[in-house]
Amino acid sequence: MKKIASLSAGALTAKAHAMYGEILDAGTYQEMLSCHSIAELASFLRDHTAYASVFGDLARMRIQRARFEALLRKYTMSRIASLAASEKALGGSLYKILIMYYDAELLITCAEYLNSEGMGESMQFVPAFFRENSELDEQALFRARSVDDMAAAIAGTPYQKLLDGFSGGAPFSVRTLELLVDEFVYTRAEQVIREGFSGEARKELLESLRMRADMKTVECLYRMKTYYPDADARRTGVLSNTVTAFTPNERNALLECRNAAELTEVLKHSVYGKLPQLFQDGIIEHKTNEALLHTYAHKLRFSTVPQVVMTAFIGIQENEMTNLTHIAEGIRYGLPPEEIAAFLVTNESIHASEP
């Protein structure tokens, strides 16, 4: 942190703020809701937004949902890679966490495609920065068609033990692997922060990391308590991750909740109790994303730590990708604009949820 602070503490912040200037606003979202096809939506993004950088060749290609989403991902990952490369060049270490997030996505996506003949378009267009800095062999994982193939592909990497529990013919579950990957990545990310940062920078970065992990946990617990209230949450591994802002007593209380209403009461008395977005009616993923976007927007505006501003922008950019995916899906299924709008997480929807 000392090197990045002495060289150019403001450069990374300025770059993130400049990129934020291209984030889509409420008026742009409203215009997109009037599109009648994914091709029309892609044309709008090409002609009126910064997404022209990835949709510029639209006239020469037939745009389908899979390609549309792959290009959205290309745009998002290119911006993340640009910030990560800058942070690395300035002597920072947070880029290592962003590489691990890519590794996690690669592992889970490849696990989902084990029984297929190809990867589709889900992992296309990955910026070179991720491949060059990853500890995984992407092509070996793409070729994997079994758990054994996948185990061989990650042998010799820090991830090699993640598949040990599935050896010897033990049942394989992508969901179980996802929990293991999350736990491993968040634990390593916490270590990167503790070793590379100190003082206020360490405090804020750990807060952001823990919230990102905790919101995934909250989503899993809400679904479980809503649809499987009699399931033994202690046996699911949903709270296996130790990177959390919940106290040990709160973790026990979350596991013991009999339904979503009791879970909500525990959350209200936790560190997240001051986030009104979590306690509105609606789909749990919508509520957690609103809480995250609220926090990211605040950090982007007020934090003086370059890496915190950087991660805040990345969260906002990822949320935009999710919004555009929802719009494309809504158009695909012929939903009216007002129904599609209800799925979007924006600054306006956040303000509407505040008391």
pLDDT number for residue 1: 45
Pick the more confident residue, 170 or 106.
Answer: 106
Please give the backbone phi and psi of residue 344, each rounded to the nearest 5 degrees, phi first.
-85, 140
283 pLDDT exceeds 70?
A: yes
Q: What is the DSSP letter of 161?
A: G
Residue 2's pLDDT band, with cuts at 50, 70 and 90, is very low
Q: What is the pLDDT of residue 59?
A: 64
- Domain coordinates of the chain in residue numbers? 1-81+310-355
Integer Cα distance of 128 and 18 in angstroms = 22
Report pLDDT digits (tens) over 236-255.
Answer: 666 777 899 999 999 999 98
Asked if the model's pLDDT at residue 171 lies above 90, the reply is: no
Rounded to the nearest integer, the mean pLDDT of the chain is: 90
Q: State residue 183's pLDDT score.
A: 93
What is the pLDDT, as a whole number, of residue 4? 53
Determine the average pLDDT of the residues in 154-163: 96
Cα–Cα distances in angstroms (integers) from residue 6 to residues 3, 11, 90, 92, 304, in the given order: 5, 11, 9, 11, 14
pLDDT at 47 over 50: yes
Q: Is the pLDDT assigned to residue 323 strictly greater than 60?
A: yes
The reported pLDDT for the residue numbered 154 is 97
Q: Identify which of 203, 201, 207, 208 has the alpha carbon closest to the alpha carbon of residue 306.
A: 201
Alpha carbon 315 to chain centroid distance? Answer: 7
Determine the Cα–Cα distance for residues 203 and 210; give it in Å rounded to an integer: 11
Please give the pLDDT value at position 255. 87
- State the burial class of residue 330 (Cβ atoms within 10 Å of its Cβ: 0-12, 13-18, 19+): buried
The confidence band for 106, taking pLDDT boundaries of 50, 70 and 90, is very high
Instruction: Summarize the confidence of residues 144-166 as an average pLDDT.
Output: 94
pLDDT over 70 at 138, yes or no? yes
The DSSP line for 212-234 is: HHHHHHHHHHHHHHHH-TTS-GG
Q: Could you read off the pLDDT of 21-38 as tens digits, one per residue?
A: 999 999 999 999 999 999
Residue 7 has a pLDDT of 46
Is the pLDDT confidence value at 121 over 90?
no
Report the pLDDT averaged over residues 176-186. 93
Q: Does domain 1-81+310-355 have CATH number 1.10.10.10?
A: no
- Does pLDDT of 234 surpass 80? no
Task: Please give the share of the chain, as a percent, with pLDDT higher than 70.
Answer: 92
pLDDT for 235: 58
Task: Report the pLDDT value the prediction gives residue 226, as an integer from 0 to 100.
Answer: 87
The DSSP call for residue 163 is G
| Cβ(310)–Cβ(16) below 8 Å | yes
Give the model's pLDDT for residue 354: 63
| Tokens 């000392």 sit on residue | 2
CA angle 287, 290, 296 (to 5 degrees): 145
Using a pLDDT cut of 90, give the percent of the chain over it: 73
